[in-house]
Structures are given as structure tokens and as C-alpha cells.
């Protein structure tokens, strides 16, 4: 190669380098040429600090662990791609809660059937009053309140059980279409009739609370099982005995709890009972989370609502039995309001004495 050819080649190379530099500087906007980003990308990093191709598994692990970002749309919960507590919630609801709940209801029914077979119907020991006299047990307002609460509770209990167990029990019998329609209308009924139940328990509370304050006589009554298991045993009792006080408080406290958790499910985000409840429990020594998302609040409300509902249904099955088939003369109290005088003396002796001392001859009525 001649000297002049070498000079031409070097000139061409220098020109190409200058064109390349000029182009790159124009593209990056920097006369000093920022090569750091390009170098970083070759190391697996992309500009801006995102993980890029470096750690897909790290990123998805964080998403699966419930990492929450920010979003500009109104639904702020959308900032969380995966709420993994849902897995635990679904497993608890479809697993132990459903299974033990179903077993609990079956055991309640079997226990009542066994009680009926062993004890039989509890009769009025001395027979109905020979002169057919009765005494007013519940007035019209009390009976209306009882049946408002009772009828609404029965609809709520059946439609609630359908939500929990319908797909296993009714769907195979009715087929998917009829079951879907039933569940749709049942859910609507559940949401609206809940307000009749709420009214019922509020009225019940004000009408009967003063007769349901626990006292030492209740301990005596409980000690002999209320005489329910032994013929000829009739522990003295005021207007409500210990068993009835237990039913009353179960209905009031259970009803209030169902109301709160039910309203939280109807208005998610507006009513969030759990963070506050946990804060109170923490003061008593628990260590529960007090910063809960709307979804976590809702999941806890579903579990609690189902649990309290199941316990109440089991207890009320027992109440319905003893108030109807199980005890002669009891149903009159909530039907006509007038109970047989001998029935009243056997089951609520102190109350009868109190009524008898009242001016109107104890509101007793002669036989019709
Ligand atoms: C068909 C269903 C029902 C029947 C046959 C029935 C029957 C009775 C009877 C006979 C009494 C009066 C007991 C007495 O005179 O001392 C009574 C009272 C009462 N009922 Fe019901 N009841 C039914 C459903 C319900 C339901 C669903 C609830 C609540 C969810 C309820 C709550 C109460 C309460 C709190 C009392 C007063 C406390 C007591 O006597 O245990 N009842 N019921």
C-alpha cells in the first residue's frame, strides 16, 4: 500500500467516526455521549429503576404477596393486583366453616330428636286448669314483635343457608337454572328482609330487657336443668327463666352482631367494623392487625356473619321445638297470648304470684 492510499484510508475512517459521533450526539442530546444507560441495560437493568428482565420471579413474588401500588382511577383497590388473603379466606369458608357448620346443625337436630324420644312432650303436670282459666302472657305488641322477628329470621336463615350450602344440596336437585333464579331472589329477600329483623330485635330488646336481667335464681334454675329433664321438678321462675334469658340474649347480641356484619357486607367501605374491633382486642392483650383493606374487612365480615348465623340457627331450632312440639301449652303464649293457668304456675310460678297480686285479678280470664 502506498503512502497516499494510507492517508486516504485514515481520512475516510476519521470522517466516519465524526459522522457516527455527530449522529449519536444528536440522538442522545448529549455532546459528552451518556453511555451509562446503555451499559446498564446490558447488565440487565432498564432505565428508571424497574426490574426489567432481571428478576421476573422477584416481581411476581411481590405481586403474589399483595404488594400495593398506586392508581389514578377511583377504585384505589385496583392498585393491588393479587390479594392473597383471599386464598386463606376461601379455604376457611369452604373448608372448616362449612363442614363444622353443617355438622353443628345436624347435631342440633339429632340432639332435639333424641330429647323428644327420651323425654317426650313436656305435659302440664297437673293437667290444664279444671275451670279453663288462662292468664295473659304476651300482649298484642309483644306477639307482633315476636312474629316479626321470627318470620324474618326464618327467611334470613333459609336464604342464608342457601348461599352457603345450596350449591351442594339444592343445585343437584333443581338444576343450575332454577337454582340460580332461587338464589338470585333469595339474596334480594335476604337483603331487604334483614331490616324487618333489625326492627324486630330492637323492639324485643326494649319490650323484654327488664325481665331478662340475670339473677341468682337463674343459677338455681340451671342447676336442675330447669326441670326439663326430670318429671315433677319445677324450679321457681319469674316471667322469664334462665333458659329463656339465654335465648333472649343470644337473639339480641347475636342479632346485633349479624346486623353489624351484614350491614358491613351491604355497604363495603362505608362500614368497616374489624379494624376498630381488633384495636380493642389489642388493648386486652391480642396482637391483631389494625390497618385492614376494604377487602380484608369484607372477608372477615363474611366469615363472622356465617359463623354467628349458624350458631343462632342451631339455637333457634331448639327454641322452636320447645315452643311448639316439645311443650304442651307453650305456643299459646305467642298465638293467642293467653296461657293455661296451671301451665303458668308450673313454669313461671313467681310471675303468676306477681300477676295475681295486681289489681285486675292477675289478668286471668275464665273459660270462654
Ligand atoms: C316457628 C317458630 C317459633 C316458635 C313456634 C316460637 C315459640 C315461642 C314461644 C312459645 C315463646 C314463649 C315462651 C313463653 O311463654 O315463655 C317464644 C318466646 C320467644 N321467642 Fe320464639 N318462637 C319461634 C321463633 C322464634 C325466632 C326465630 C326467634 C328469634 C330469632 C324467637 C325469639 C324468641 C324470644 C327472644 C322469646 C322470649 C324468650 C323465650 O321465651 O325464650 N322465636 N317463642
**Cell numbers for 159:** 336464604
* Range 233-236 contact pairs with CB under 8 angstroms and sequence separation of 24 or more: 234/125, 234/346, 234/347, 234/349, 236/349, 236/350
Element housing 360 (H / E): none
Q: What atom in ligand 1 is closest to the CA of residue 243?
A: 41
Stretch among 14-18, 43-47, 161-165 having the lowest mean pLDDT: 43-47
For ligand 1, whether the C-beta of 244 sits within 6 Å is yes
Q: Is the CB of 237 under 6 A from ligand 1?
A: no
Residue 247 near ligand 1, beta carbon < 6 Å: yes
Instruction: Tell me if 330 CB under 6 Å of ligand 1.
Output: yes
For the stretch 254-286, pLDDT in tens is: 999 999 999 999 999 899 999 999 999 999 999
Q: Which residue has the higher pLDDT, 40 or 248?
A: 248
- Per-residue confidence at 10, pLDDT binned at 50, 70, 90? confident
User: What band does 20 get if pLDDT is binned at 50, 70 and 90?
Assistant: low
Cα dist from 201 to 18, 153, 193, 248, 341, whole Å: 89, 10, 13, 10, 28
pLDDT category at 48 given cuts 50, 70, 90 is low
Model pLDDT, residue 68: 87
Would the CB of 338 count as within 6 Å of ligand 1? no
Distance 32 CA to ligand 1 centre (A): 88
214-261 pLDDT tens trace: 999 999 999 999 999 988 899 999 999 999 999 999 999 999 999 999
- Ligand 1 centroid, distance to 331 Cα (angstroms): 9
**Residue 37 above 70 pLDDT?**
no
DSSP secondary structure of 271-312: --HHHHHHHHHHHTT--------HHHHHHHHHHHHHHHHHHH
Q: What is the pLDDT of residue 266?
A: 97
Measured from the CB, is residue 242 less than 6 Å from ligand 1?
A: no
CA dihedral 322, 326, 327, 331 (to 10 degrees): 60
- Residues 37 and 33: their CA atoms lie apart, in Å, by 10
Distance CA 198, CA 194 (A): 6
Weakest-pLDDT range from 36-50, 74-88, 142-156: 36-50
In order of 6, 9, 11, 14, 183, the CA distances from 1 in angstroms are 7, 11, 15, 19, 94
Give the cell for residue 102: 353443617
Structural domain spans, the chain: 87-123+212-231+242-320
pLDDT at residue 361 greater than cutoff 50: no
Distance in Å, CA 137 to ligand 1 centroid: 12
- Give me the chain's average pLDDT, please: 89
E runs forming strands in the chain? 134-136, 338-340, 364-365
| Total Cβ atoms within 10 A of residue 218 | 22
Confidence of residue 313 (pLDDT cuts 50, 70, 90): very high
Looking up cell 327463666 gives 241
Which ligand 1 atom lies nearest to the CA of residue 333?
Answer: 15
What is the distance between the alpha carbons of residues 73 and 79, in angstroms, rounded to a whole number?
Answer: 9
> In angstroms, what is the span from residue 146 Cα to ligand 1's centroid?
7
Is the pTM of the predicted complex or chain greater than 0.75?
yes
Amino acid at each position: 500500500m502506498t503512502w497516499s492510499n494510507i492517508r486516504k484510508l485514515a481520512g475516510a475512517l476519521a470522517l466516519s467516526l465524526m459522522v457516527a459521533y455527530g449522529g449519536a450526539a444528536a440522538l442522545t442530546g448529549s455532546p459528552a455521549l451518556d453511555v451509562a444507560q446503555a451499559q446498564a441495560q446490558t447488565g440487565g437493568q432498564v432505565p428508571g429503576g424497574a426490574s426489567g428482565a432481571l428478576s421476573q420471579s422477584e416481581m411476581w413474588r411481590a405481586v403474589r404477596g399483595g404488594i400495593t401500588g398506586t392508581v389514578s382511577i377511583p377504585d384505589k383497590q385496583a392498585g393491588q393486583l393479587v390479594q392473597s388473603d383471599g386464598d386463606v379466606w376461601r379455604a376457611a369458608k369452604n373448608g372448616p366453616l362449612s363442614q363444622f357448620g353443617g355438622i353443628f346443625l345436624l347435631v342440633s337436630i339429632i340432639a332435639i330428636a333424641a330429647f323428644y324420644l327420651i323425654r317426650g312432650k313436656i305435659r302440664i303436670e297437673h293437667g290444664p286448669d279444671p275451670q279453663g282459666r288462662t292468664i295473659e302472657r304476651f300482649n298484642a305488641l309483644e306477639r307482633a314483635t315476636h312474629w316479626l322477628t321470627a318470620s324474618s329470621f326464618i327467611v334470613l336463615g333459609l336464604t342464608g343457608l342457601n348461599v352457603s350450602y345450596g350449591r351442594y344440596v339444592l343445585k343437584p336437585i333443581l338444576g343450575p337454572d332454577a337454582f340460580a333464579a332461587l338464589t338470585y331472589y333469595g339474596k334480594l329477600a335476604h337483603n331487604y328482609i334483614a331490616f324487618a329483623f333489625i326492627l324486630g330485635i330492637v323492639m324485643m330488646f326494649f319490650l323484654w330487657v327488664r325481665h331478662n336481667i340475670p339473677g341468682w335464681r337463674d343459677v338455681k334454675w340451671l342447676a336442675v336443668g330447669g326441670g326439663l329433664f326430670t318429671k315433677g321438678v319445677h324450679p321457681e321462675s319469674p316471667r322469664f327463666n334462665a333458659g329463656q334469658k339465654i335465648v333472649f340474649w343470644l337473639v339480641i347480641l347475636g342479632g346485633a352482631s349479624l346486623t353489624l356484619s351484614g350491614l358491613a357486607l351491604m355497604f363495603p367501605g362505608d362500614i368497616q367494623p374489624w379494624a376498630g374491633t381488633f384495636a380493642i382486642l389489642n388493648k386486652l392483650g391480642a396482637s391483631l392487625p389494625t390497618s385492614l383493606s376494604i377487602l380484608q374487612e369484607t372477608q372477615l365480615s363474611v366469615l363472622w356473619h356465617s359463623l354467628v348465623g349458624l350458631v343462632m340457627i342451631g339455637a333457634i331450632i331448639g327454641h322452636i321445638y320447645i315452643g311448639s312440639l316439645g311443650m304442651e301449652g307453650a305456643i299459646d303464649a305467642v298465638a293467642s297470648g293467653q296461657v293455661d293457668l296451671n301451665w303458668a304456675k308450673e313454669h313461671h310460678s313467681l310471675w303468676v304470684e306477681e300477676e295475681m297480686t295486681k289489681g285486675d285479678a292477675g289478668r286471668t280470664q275464665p273459660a270462654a
